[in-house]
């Protein structure tokens, strides 16, 4: 008897949800964002040659209409707060 298939990439898995929450909180802390700022976190797969297999994109939209975006070339589960700080203070912001 085989066990049921569990999709490790499913959006509703607790590890994905938890990773998004933590990355959002770290982004708010690092950038000292107001409560009205919107932080979006997405993990993207890249199939182009030379591109990392997974990339995490953090988008910050503030009430003043300003937008910041940082691309981190690793999966969400591997992101640490130093990655967020480096991306937004360094050259990873668009």
pLDDT in tens, 8-59: 666 555 578 899 999 999 999 999 999 899 999 999 998 888 888 899 999 9
pTM above 0.75, yes or no: yes
CA distance 23 to 19: 6
Tell me, yes or no, whether 4 lies in a domain: no
Burial of 11 (0-12, 13-18, 19+ CB in 10 A): exposed
Contact 30, 49 (CB under 8 A): no
- What is the Rg, in whole angstroms, of the alpha carbon atoms belonging to the chain? 15
Tell me, yes or no, whether 94 lies in a domain: no
Tell me, yes or no, whether 34 lies in a domain: yes
Number of domains in the chain: 1
Contact 50, 39 (CB under 8 A): no
Tell me, yes or no, whether 1 lies in a domain: no
Domain of 41 in residue numbering reads as 14-89
């Amino acid at each position: 008897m085989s066990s049921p298939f569990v999709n490790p990439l499913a959006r509703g898995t607790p590890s994905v949800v938890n990773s998004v929450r933590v990355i959002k909180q770290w982004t708010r802390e690092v950038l000292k964002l107001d409560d009205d700022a919107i932080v979006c976190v997405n993990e993207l797969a890249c199939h182009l040659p030379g591109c990392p297999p997974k990339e995490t994109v953090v988008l910050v939209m503030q009430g003043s209409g300003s937008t910041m975006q940082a691309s981190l070339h690793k999966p969400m589960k591997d992101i640490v707060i130093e990655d967020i700080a480096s991306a937004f203070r360094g050259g990873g912001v668009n």
